[in-house]
Amino acid sequence: MEPLTIDVDEIDESGQAWQADLPREFVDSALRGEPPTEFHAAGAATVRARLTKIGRSVLVQSRFTVPLEGQCKRCLKKVRLDEPIDLTLTYVPRAGPAPEPPRRAGHDRAEPEPAASFDAETVDEEPYSGKTIDLAPALREQILLAVPPSPVCDEACKGLCPTCGKDLNADDCGCEKTTLDPRWAALKSIQLEKKEK
Ligand SMILES: [Zn+2]
Ligand SMILES: [Zn+2]
């Protein structure tokens, strides 16, 4: 796959568009992160981003969708969705042996302030070294954060009847449901054991 890297020297100061393909394998590996989701990629995705450079800091703003497929955890129907992924991140050069930035009064933290900052309050910062930025780790993390852990076809999905397997979204099967609560089942078996003794 093409590398998801940005050459900082090549970014226009006035901002520019950037685009890259995310192969299905990339999306799949992101979905198997920690904790893994129960989705898999339904295809490849395309990342479209806006890059803005101030000094050596680079603001990356991106919104794209990843096509996902999974199985509803309640009714086992196939779930297909396009999950929107937002990525807004400022890459700041990792402090090197370069000139020490001026220190604010009453501010004696050891680490130097980044040379340029967009809005540290709202935009996450990520350090980078050298002159290339690798977007892959941030993209992977953002996909994992945005995707729900398990697929549900609908928040109101009633699932399958544990007794007869009927899809309860279509019709109620009339099976007795209360006896199937595992807590009751456990109680019942305890009572049976007592009687046997
Ligand atoms: Zn369902
Ligand atoms: Zn039933």
Ligand of minimum distance to the alpha carbon of 77 = 1
What are the counts of helices (DSSP H) followed by strands (DSSP E) for the chain? 3, 8
Per-residue pLDDT of 145-183, as tens digits, reads 999 999 999 999 999 999 999 999 999 998 886 655 666
Ligand of minimum distance to the alpha carbon of 163 = 2
Rounded to an integer, what is the distance from CA 33 to the centroid of its chain? 9
Dist. CA 183 → ligand 1 center (Å): 24
The helix/strand/coil state of 51 is: strand
- CB-based neighbours (< 5 A) of ligand 1, an ion: 72, 74-75, 153, 157
Most confident of the ranges 2-16, 28-42, 91-105 = 28-42
On whether both 180 and 111 belong to a single domain, the answer is: no
Structure tokens at 82: 């396009």
On whether both 192 and 113 belong to a single domain, the answer is: no
Ligand of minimum distance to the alpha carbon of 164 = 2
- Confidence bin at 36 (pLDDT 50/70/90): very high
The predicted model gives 121-133 an average pLDDT of 87
Structure tokens at 146: 């945005």
Per-residue model confidence (pLDDT) at position 103: 56
From CA 15, how far away is CA 11, in angstroms rounded? 7
On whether both 119 and 168 belong to a single domain, the answer is: no
- Confidence bin at 184 (pLDDT 50/70/90): low
The predicted model gives 125-133 an average pLDDT of 94
On whether both 82 and 178 belong to a single domain, the answer is: no
pTM: 0.73
On whether both 89 and 170 belong to a single domain, the answer is: no
Which residues, 6 or more positions from 35, have their beta carbon under 8 angstroms from its beta carbon?
Answer: 149
- Confidence bin at 117 (pLDDT 50/70/90): low
Alpha helices in the chain (DSSP H): 24-31, 136-146, 182-196
From CA 123, how far away is CA 146, in angstroms rounded? 17
Dist. CA 169 → ligand 2 center (Å): 12
**Residue 23 domain-assigned?**
yes
On whether both 197 and 112 belong to a single domain, the answer is: no
In DSSP terms, which residues pair with 92 in a beta bridge?
127
Per-residue model confidence (pLDDT) at position 69: 97
For residue 9, is pLDDT > 80? yes
In this structure, are residues 88 and 61 in contact, taking their beta carbons and an 8 Å threshold?
yes
**Residue 152 domain-assigned?**
no
Per-residue model confidence (pLDDT) at position 191: 60
**Residue 153 domain-assigned?**
no
For residue 130, is pLDDT > 80? yes
Rg (CA), the chain: 26
Per-residue pLDDT of 64-102, as tens digits, reads 999 999 999 999 999 999 999 999 999 999 976 555 555
- When the pLDDT of each residue in the chain is averaged and rounded to a whole number, the result is 85
Dist. CA 45 → ligand 1 center (Å): 25
- CB-based neighbours (< 5 A) of ligand 2, an ion: 161, 163-164, 166, 173, 175
The predicted model gives 179-189 an average pLDDT of 60
Dist. CA 63 → ligand 2 center (Å): 44
Domain that holds residue 32: 5-146
On whether both 102 and 55 belong to a single domain, the answer is: yes
The helix/strand/coil state of 20 is: strand
Per-residue model confidence (pLDDT) at position 97: 59
On whether both 119 and 51 belong to a single domain, the answer is: yes
For residue 111, is pLDDT > 60? no
Split into its structural domains, the chain has a count of 2
User: What share of the chain in percent tops pLDDT 90?
Assistant: 66
Dist. CA 80 → ligand 2 center (Å): 27
